[in-house]
Chain A
Amino acid sequence: MPLEPPITDLDKLKDHPALSALLAWNQGAVQGAKFDRDELSIYVAREFIRQACEQLKSKSVIDFLSDLTCADFYPREPRFEMAYHLLSMRAKERVRLKVKLDGEDPVLESITAIWPTANFFEREIFDLFGIRFLGHPYLRRIMMPEDWEGHPLRRDYPVEGYR
């Protein structure tokens, strides 16, 4: 089927349970939303991500963290875009929370206290992108050796690596 254009108007999307729960809690935390290709993405402000996840979990909107990852849009600022893929097993629906981070010393609060599954995800993002997570119980490199310098998945790190 041909692609429909994305809906970015908050008014049209506010019936969605995740978005309405976040808007009801704190209007300022939500910086925007997009419904594209049958998936809802909510842009959350950096300071509020941990509390937003807590809200969604306590209101039983979401019960499962599927995936936590990052994309590097190198020359553009804000450079990093974190994506939290959340799933509600009861409603069988997914929602994606996105956080934009600057390239200069990217720091974010860890959500390991809310979902222990974020442990390995955040370690991998720290290892490969260099984003630090405050409150993570064991933030060390996981894929690369302990003494590796540089963050390989960043856009300015060459695919062949440094020899």
Chain B
Amino acid sequence: MILNMGPQHPSTHGVLRLLLEIDGEQVVRMMPDIGFLHTGIEKTCEAKFYQQVVPLTDRIDYLCPMINNFCYVLAVEKLLGLEIPARAQWIRVMLVELQRISSHLVWLGTHAMDIGAMSVFLYCFREREDLLRIYEMVSGQRMMTSYFRIGGLALDPPLGFFDKVKKFLDIFPERVDEYENLLTGNRIFIDRLKDVAHLSAEDAIAMGVTGPSLRASGVDFDLRRDMPYSSYEKFKFKVPVSKDGDVWARYLCRVQELRQSREIAKQALEGLPSGPTKANAPKVVLPDREKMKTEMEALIYHFKIVTEGFTVPAGEVYQAIESPRGEMGYYVVSDGTAKPMRVHMRSPSYVNLQALSKMCEGKLIADVVAAIGSIDIVLGEIDR
């Protein structure tokens, strides 16, 4: 029998349609059908200036928008050869780790809710609410922040921002203890997740799986540590790896990552260097608002950048970063004009989804729900 786990389903984490060919309770074959959220972002990017593409990138992986901003902005800065000041890099790292925490909180809440532990969802969203207020304080927007710009940050963080972040980071470890208290020793939770949807290391590498799902299968590879970008080499953190490769291992890896992200954010906060938050490139970076209102030169630069954009020397670049779901990569091709020739997003969920069929074939239907939750997909980045 072919069962349609249709695009509208509480457990598919978005508009994902799964065609399950089942025999009794067992899944014989699984075919994902995507494209319900396809909005042609890659095509739209070709019609916009480089700085206008930044808000488009927010919407791709909407649970951690600053991470997509980050990847795109790093790619264009690599194309331009811009050097970003240390303060901007550290603030970027701090915010990116906070975004990783908020993305993992959504994963934990929704995954536990799928399995049946309903109250964990509200616990996680209580912390996420604090984080959304932090993002709103720094950029004016709760989710689609567009705070990282080409050349640094949009604005300096406001007064009182770092105190608020410090307060959050101080209470966070005991909150993670609360979640673990509810779930990690829970007999029912362990029974639902252990030995379910196993993925071996060779299969994971062959399928292109990256991120916590890869590390839970035993492959110790994290882009932040192994191919560092934006001063990640200055931070000390552990990378959780597990050998089991089942849903339980992925759960443990991600919960450990919550703790490690908090460590990195704390180190970034404590060691924050002083200095400017925008690069010194008047043709690319918008000038200070006050200078724009008083100096003629700054006004002309502002006008030129906003109306005509800035040209980027021809070439191509592939920049990959570690997003909460895996390797998020941006392939930007420039032909020397002010609009990108091609922007391609290598979204981790798109590739991890292929592993889902491998994990679920031959297993029970109820395990499909656990498996979808464990690979942590976001349909926005699958369909773009």
Q: Quick check: B44 and A120 within 8 Å, CB to CB?
A: no
Chain B: residues with CB nearer than 8 A to chain A?
34-35, 38, 40, 42-44, 46-47, 78-81, 83, 205-208, 219, 221, 226-227, 313, 315-318, 320, 327, 329, 331, 333, 335, 341-342, 344, 346, 350-351, 353-354, 383
Q: Quick check: A159 and B46 within 8 Å, CB to CB?
A: yes
Known: A71-B341, A72-B342, A141-B35. 20 other contacts (CB 8 A): A1-B83, A3-B81, A37-B81, A38-B78, A41-B316, A66-B208, A66-B318, A66-B327, A67-B346, A83-B331, A85-B329, A116-B206, A116-B208, A117-B206, A120-B350, A143-B383, A153-B43, A157-B43, A159-B46, A161-B40
Complex Cα distance A96/B346, Å? 14
Question: Counting CB contacts under 8 A, is A36 at the interface?
Answer: yes
Number of A-B contacts (CB under 8 A): 100
A144 → chain B, closest Cβ, in Å?
A: 6
Chain B residues in 8 Å Cβ range of A117: 206-208, 351, 354
- Assess A145 versus B35: contact at CB under 8 Å? Given A2-B81, A72-B342, A120-B350: yes
From A63, A83, A121, A152, give the contact of B205 (CB < 8 A).
A63
Q: Report the interface size class on chain A.
A: 35 or more
B211 → chain A, closest Cβ, in Å?
A: 13
Q: Which of A73-103 contact B (CB under 8 A)?
A: 73, 83, 85, 89, 92, 94, 96
Q: Quick check: A69 and B331 within 8 Å, CB to CB?
A: yes
Question: Counting CB contacts under 8 A, is A55 at the interface?
Answer: no
Cβ-closest chain B residue relative to A160: B47
Q: Which of A25-81 contact B (CB under 8 A)?
A: 36-39, 41, 63-67, 69, 71-73
At the interface, is chain B mostly helix, strand, loop or mixed?
Answer: mixed
In the complex, the 5 A-B pairs of residues with the closest C-beta atoms, listed nearest first? A117-B208, A3-B81, A67-B346, A71-B342, A143-B35
From B40, B313, B344, B354, give the contact of A152 (CB < 8 A).
B40
Chain A residues in 8 Å Cβ range of B208: 64-66, 115-117
Chain B residues in 8 Å Cβ range of A6: 315
Question: Counting CB contacts under 8 A, is A119 at the interface?
Answer: yes
- Assess A83 versus B316: contact at CB under 8 Å? Given A143-B35, A144-B38: yes
B341 → chain A, closest Cβ, in Å?
A: 7
Chain B residues in 8 Å Cβ range of A10: none
- Assess A143 versus B351: contact at CB under 8 Å? Given A36-B315, A117-B208, A152-B43: no
- Assess A159 versus B43: contact at CB under 8 Å? Given A83-B331, A120-B353, A143-B34: yes
Question: Counting CB contacts under 8 A, is A107 at the interface?
Answer: no
Q: Quick check: B346 and A66 within 8 Å, CB to CB?
A: yes
Q: Which of A1-19 contact B (CB under 8 A)?
A: 1-3, 6
Q: Quick check: A153 and B313 within 8 Å, CB to CB?
A: no
Chain A residues in 8 Å Cβ range of B354: 116-117, 119-120
Q: Quick check: A85 and B78 within 8 Å, CB to CB?
A: no
Chain A residues in 8 Å Cβ range of B44: 159
Question: Counting CB contacts under 8 A, is A108 at the interface?
Answer: no
Complex Cα distance A117/B354, Å? 7
Chain A residues in 8 Å Cβ range of B205: 63-64, 89
Chain A residues in 8 Å Cβ range of B79: 37
Question: Counting CB contacts under 8 A, is A139 at the interface?
Answer: no
B201 → chain A, closest Cβ, in Å?
A: 11
Chain A residues in 8 Å Cβ range of B221: 89
Complex Cα distance A37/B317, Å? 7
